[in-house]
Chain A
Amino acid sequence: MIREFTLNHVWFILAGAGWTILLTAIALFFGSILGLVLAILRQSPNAILRVAAGSLVRIFQGVPLVVVIFMIYFGIAGGGLNVSPLMACSIGLSLFAGAFLGEIWRGAIQAIPAQQWEAADALGFTALERLRYAILPQAIRLSMPATIGFIVQLVKGTSVASMVGYVELMRAGQVVNGSTFDSFTVFGLVALIYLAINLPLSFLSKRIEQVKL
Chain B
Amino acid sequence: MHFEAVWAGLPLLLSGALKTILYAVAGYAAGLAFAMLLIVGRLAYGSAISRPTAVFVEIVRNTPFLVQAFFLYFGLAKLGFSMSPVVAAVIIVTFNSLAYTVEILRSGLMGVPRGLIEAGESMSFSALQMFRYVIARPMLRATLPALSGQFIIIMLNTSLLSAIAIPELTYEASNLASSSFRPFEVYVAIALIYFTISAAFAGMFALLTRAVTGDWAKVDLARRGIL
Are A62 and B58 interface neighbours, CB within 8 A? no
Are A62 and B199 interface neighbours, CB within 8 A? yes
* Nearest B-chain residue to A62, judged by Cβ: B198
A170-B170 contact, Cβ under 8 Å, with A67-B194, A202-B62? no
Interface string of A172-213 (1 = CB under 8 A from B): 011001000111101110110011001100100000000000
User: In the complex the two chains form, what is the Cα distance from A182 to B70 in whole Å?
Assistant: 12
| Contact among A177, A181, A191 for B68, CB-based, below 8 A | A191
A63-B194 contact, Cβ under 8 Å, with A74-B187, A156-B64, A173-B67? yes
Residues of A57-92 whose CB lies within 8 A of B: 58-59, 61-68, 70-71, 74-75, 78
Interface string of B50-89 (1 = CB under 8 A from A): 0000000011011111111011001111110000000000
Which stretch (B31-39, B137-145, B153-161) binds chain A? B153-161
| Contact among B152, B160, B177, B188 for A66, CB-based, below 8 A | B160
A195-B59 contact, Cβ under 8 Å, with A63-B156, A67-B187, A74-B187? yes
Are A71 and B75 interface neighbours, CB within 8 A? no
Query: What's the nearest-Cβ distance from chain B to residue A207, in Å?
Result: 14
Residues of B146-177 whose CB lies within 8 A of A: 152, 156-157, 159-160, 162-163, 170, 173, 177
| Contact among B191, B199, B225 for A71, CB-based, below 8 A | B191
Query: What's the nearest-Cβ distance from chain A to residue B149, in Å?
Result: 9
Are A190 and B67 interface neighbours, CB within 8 A? yes
Residues of B within 8 A of A147 (CB): none
Are A74 and B184 interface neighbours, CB within 8 A? yes
Interface size in chain A (residues, C-beta < 8 A): 44
Residues of A within 8 A of B48 (CB): none
Residues of A within 8 A of B187 (CB): 67, 70-71, 74-75
User: In the complex the two chains form, what is the Cα distance from A31 to B12 in whole Å?
Assistant: 35
Are B157 and A159 interface neighbours, CB within 8 A? no
Residues of A76-115 whose CB lies within 8 A of B: 78, 103, 107
Interface residues of B (CB under 8 A from A): 58-59, 61-68, 70-71, 74-79, 152, 156-157, 159-160, 162-163, 170, 173, 177, 183-184, 187-188, 190-191, 194-195, 198-199, 224-226
Q: List 17 extra interface pairs beyond A75-B187, A75-B188, A187-B75, CB under 8 A.
A: A62-B152, A62-B194, A63-B194, A67-B191, A68-B191, A160-B160, A170-B64, A170-B66, A170-B67, A177-B70, A184-B71, A184-B75, A190-B70, A194-B67, A195-B59, A199-B62, A202-B61
